[in-house]
Amino acid sequence: MEANEAKKRIEALKAEVEEHSRRYYDEDAPTISDFEYDKLIHTLMDLEDAFPQFRTPDSPTQHVGGKVSSKFDPVRHEVPLESLMDVFSHEDLFAFGSRVNDAIAEEKTFVVEPKVDGLSIAIEYRNGKFYRGATRGDGQTGEDVTENLRTIRSLPQELRNAPERLIVRGEVYMAKDTFERLNSRYEVEGKPLLANPRNGAAGSLRQKDAKVTAERCLDLIVYNIQFSTAQYKSHTETLDALTAMGFDVVPYKHYDNIRDCVEQIEWIGEHRDEFSYEMDGAVIKVNDLAQRSRLGSTTKVPRWAVAYKYPPEKKCSRVVNIVVQVGRTGVLTPKAVIEPIRLAGTTVSNATLHNQDFIDKLDVRIGDTVWVQKAGEIIPEVVAVEFSARPEGTQPFKLPEVCSECGSPVVRDADGAAMRCTGAECPAQRLRNITHFASKDAMDIEGLGPAVVESLVNAGLVKNCADIYYLDAQSVAQLDRMGKKSAENLIAAIEKSKQQGFSRLLAAFGIRQVGVKAGKVLAKRYSNLDELMQASVEELMTIDDIGPVTAQYLADWFAAPQSRHQLALLRDAGVSFESTEEVADARFAGKTFVLTGTLSRYTRDEATDVIERFGGKVSGSVSKKTSYVLAGEAAGSKLTKAQELGIAVISEDEFGAMIE
Ligand code: AMP
Ligand code: ZN
């Protein structure tokens, strides 16, 4: 590569890495996998090694990512929280071994540990009591997250037989099952989902409100003593001491040489799935602490340890079928059913195909041989088709046009690739729809949160939103954790919600793009739901804030048989369809006026105001779409045009009568 080209490439890589680093550390919302990120960093490092003249102090290779944010008080780390050098192959690992050999002549041993994928922290204990904890930040200064750390149950508040002063380094993580549990709850509640356990942990720990952290059920595992008033000779000794003090300590294995470490590294990789936490590699450390200090550190990483990164595992298998699942939000997700293979420690028998666009792009068909990948712990996905192995007679795969759960039409999101079932009574969406119906911004039914909805659904007492109005206190009282009193309260709250009226009821249906705001706008325009149902798409589109997409969603929803059934049940139950908003006079809805000539009774601005207040529009030129031309004195070409097109021409007097 020419110097010129290298310079450009380095600049581009720097910008790219910085951007991903910002997303990862500051926003806890990465858009590429850690593995891809590490690869980028390494490409940059290699280039900078080849062209050192272009290496600048501000390069991301020269500092640990992440700035200290101003949300929390800064804490200066007494012992810096270093990063680790990554290796991606056995060869690189042996190179690490020889570097250690060159520096330390006498015998040495190594420890292998899983590399827990969470958020690095340092915690300090004084006289055995938890004193303070901070995030890594830039390695020198972190953020004081003591209060949030106190909510973590696996962080001991008090230690057994602790030294006077102790600083421990560990990883705050979200266990895989916690992650799944939270996300499945958030999905029902309509909250944004956590991207992955690591971001779940980082985002939860850096909350201003410790209560939020507590809800996220984080865990802590420790793997290093940063500082202690007690003396230790080896890393294994410190880990055992930490266990004795009451910490959850990273599991470790101790070996005489690097060659033996490899087996353990491979073993961890193969069994990744059995650990309660995610991991993104294994860490190999020199055990003897005196040897460690002799090896020391570079500006960024210790010379006595490396992180071995597992590549995402990829294997071939055959697609025996493609099945479609309907999720809680109604989205259809196609999945390839494949002949079982072992991948990253688990047996994989299906892999996601995400959506129709993805299927089209890869051209995956039933019968194809495909490459399946599991990157980290993410759900396995199909990454490519082995076209050379495609059998005769395969057909492109198209997602069905109706929902497999309820038979309703499936439509594509206007703003994305997702295909969604439109059924108001779709069983797959039941939990989520009823929870939304009862939520604060919708019918606001006190006591009808996700957990209660779930037990009502599980007990078969409700199948759709309207069913809640047919509940009786006696059957509700039979539910788990429901007494007679709370059942009666719930029934009373449900009864009260019947009077919420048009705008909230409309928002409660969960029609796409029709939330609180649209509910209000529409309830100002129509005095009840029935009037809204009569409105055509064209009429709806004339309303401010209602675009063509929303208008169509509304019309489709009201036309669907399941919605009609819902509405009938709600009406019979006595739920009010009436607007509680002041209904505006919209006599000019859908009408367009053109003003021409000299008006004597109003200024043009006044006339425009009146027309718009009544829901009409004013345009500057006459066309077939014009409803009226309001003509004053000495009207010119616009009048002629109106006459040619046969458009109604009105005088000021006639206009006056219309707005009376
Ligand atoms: P990196 O962030 O890729 O430079 O990797 C270094 C990070 O690995 C440290 O900041 C730690 O948070 C994390 N880590 C996880 N498990 C371990 C472990 N067993 N030993 C050392 N570091 C670990
Ligand atoms: Zn459905």
**Closest CA relative to residue 110, chosen from 244, 12, 257, 225:** 257
Residue 590 region, left (φ>0) first, then alpha (ψ -120 to 50), else beta?
left
Sign of CA dihedral 26, 28, 32, 38: positive
Q: How do 628-631 and 592-596 pair as beta strands?
A: parallel
Could you tell me the pLDDT band of residue 136, with boundaries at 50, 70 and 90? very high
d(CA 343, CA 370): 14
d(CA 369, CA 343): 16
pLDDT of residue 196: 82
pLDDT of residue 305: 98
Question: Residues with Cβ within 6 A of ligand 1?
Answer: 83-84, 113, 115-116, 120, 136, 171, 223, 250, 283, 307
Lowest-confidence region among 267-271, 293-297, 304-308, 363-367: 267-271
Looking up tokens 């759960």 gives 405
| Tens-digit pLDDT profile for residues 88-100 | 999 999 999 999 9
Q: Per-residue pLDDT averaged across 430-442, rounded?
A: 95
Site to substitute for ligand 1 among 42, 283, 287, most atoms within 8 A of C-beta: 283
Does the pTM exceed 0.95? no
d(CA 191, CA 237): 45
**Closest CA relative to residue 299, chosen from 36, 113, 59, 109:** 59
**Closest CA relative to residue 464, chosen from 489, 438, 501, 488:** 438
Could you tell me the pLDDT band of residue 63, with boundaries at 50, 70 and 90? low
Could you tell me the pLDDT band of residue 366, with boundaries at 50, 70 and 90? very high
Residues in the chain: 660
Residue 524 annotated to the active site: no
With residue 257 as reference, give the H or E element that holds it: none
- The set of long-range contacts for 552-558, using a CB threshold of 8 Å and a minimum separation of 24, is 553/511, 553/512, 553/513, 553/514, 554/511, 554/514, 556/411, 556/422, 557/422, 557/424, 557/509, 557/511, 558/532, 558/533
Report the nearest-CA residue for atom 23 of ligand 1.
115
d(CA 82, CA 137): 10
- The torsion angles phi and psi of 199, rounded to 5 degrees, stand at -70, -30
Amino acid in position 94: F
- In this predicted structure, the answer to whether residue 385 has a pLDDT above a threshold of 70 is yes
Q: Cα(421) to centroid of ligand 2, in Å?
A: 5
Q: Per-residue pLDDT averaged across 535-557, rounded?
A: 92
- The torsion angles phi and psi of 50, rounded to 5 degrees, stand at -75, -30
In the chain, % of residues over pLDDT 90: 70
Report the nearest-CA residue for atom 9 of ligand 1.
83
- In this predicted structure, the answer to whether residue 318 has a pLDDT above a threshold of 60 is yes
Cα angle: 58, vertex 63, 67; to 5 degrees: 95
Q: Per-residue pLDDT averaged across 645-650, rounded?
A: 93
Q: Per-residue pLDDT averaged across 341-363, rounded?
A: 90
- Residues 282 and 307: beta-carbon distance below 8 Å: yes
Site to substitute for ligand 1 among 33, 88, 116, 264, most atoms within 8 A of C-beta: 116
Of residues 7, 14, 108, 115, which has the active-site annotation? 115
d(CA 597, CA 595): 7
